[in-house]
Amino acid sequence: MYIDPTYIILIPALILAFYAQWKVNSTYNKFSDVRNSRGLTGAEVARRILDANGLYDIKIAHINGNLTDNFNPSTKVISLSDSTYNSDSVAAVGVAAHECGHAIQYATGYFPLFIRSAIVPITGIGSSLGVIILMVGLLFSSYTLALIGVILFSATAVFQAVTLPVEFNASSRALKTLESEFILEGDEIPMARKVLSAAALTYVAALVSSLSQVVRLLLLAGSTKRRK
């Protein structure tokens, strides 16, 4: 039975991805048991941060799930999950503040955020179409077609690369606001930082995974030359 040796390239990325997921879950669970000294829930913190930045038009909604929190700029809604909305834990406060960081980015015209939004459609089309073109290139031993497929698929890695500064900046804004608005105090700030740092690691893992996949596909594309 044939085993594709290029899959070996993905092993370090897979290990990092598993570690990142374990890290974010364990860190969040640890600090989800620590109540913030002011007793504010994630929803209350989000409202306070938004109002402090003049973002009165941004709404806060409750959605089902765990760590499914997000900000939708088109609807101007921050959606907080079950584990965040009514929770007064330090972890919940950190997550809520992070989503507010995205809302502030949007309001202040943070450029990388708009780049990420602009390339979302390209990423979806490029990754799907890229794989098809790559397979056709491999089938007909066409290096040119295979390479075009890899280039199109690389849009995923570009998206992940742009996502990193967006997420890091949102976390930085969140931590600064939590401290300047006296929402968290003392050792609560380092706790929130650990939660957000663990979450950021998942984006690093996603980028490493995308880059590893691109390298693997380049090797597959190069195999069409060797077959000729």
Domain residue spans of the chain: 5-227
Q: Distance between CA atoms of 209 and 81, rounded to whole angstroms?
A: 27
Buried b vs exposed e over 180-212: b needs ≥16 C-beta within 10 Å? Answer: eeebbeeebbebbbbbbbbbbbbbbbbbbbbbb
Q: Distance between CA atoms of 200 and 30, rounded to whole angstroms?
A: 17
Confidence of residue 1 (pLDDT cuts 50, 70, 90): very low
Q: What is the pLDDT of residues 86-102, one digit of tens each?
A: 999 999 999 999 999 99
Query: Please, what is the average pLDDT of the chain?
Result: 92
Confidence of residue 226 (pLDDT cuts 50, 70, 90): low
Q: What is the pLDDT of residue 107?
A: 94
* Catalytic residue set: 99
**Three-class secondary structure of residue 62 per DSSP:** strand
Closest CA to 73 of 58, 55, 94: 58
Extract the tokens encoding 50.
């938004």
Confidence of residue 126 (pLDDT cuts 50, 70, 90): confident
Q: What is the pLDDT of residue 227?
A: 57
Least confident range of 1-15, 34-48, 158-172 = 1-15
pLDDT, greater one: 124 or 2: 124
Mean pLDDT, residues 168-181 taken together: 94
Helix (H) / strand (E) containing 79: strand 77-80
Q: What is the pLDDT of residues 56-67, one digit of tens each?
A: 999 999 999 988
Mean pLDDT, residues 131-144 taken together: 90
Closest CA to 157 of 89, 84, 218: 218
Q: Is the whole-model pTM more than 0.85? A: yes
Q: Distance between CA atoms of 98 and 100, rounded to whole angstroms?
A: 5
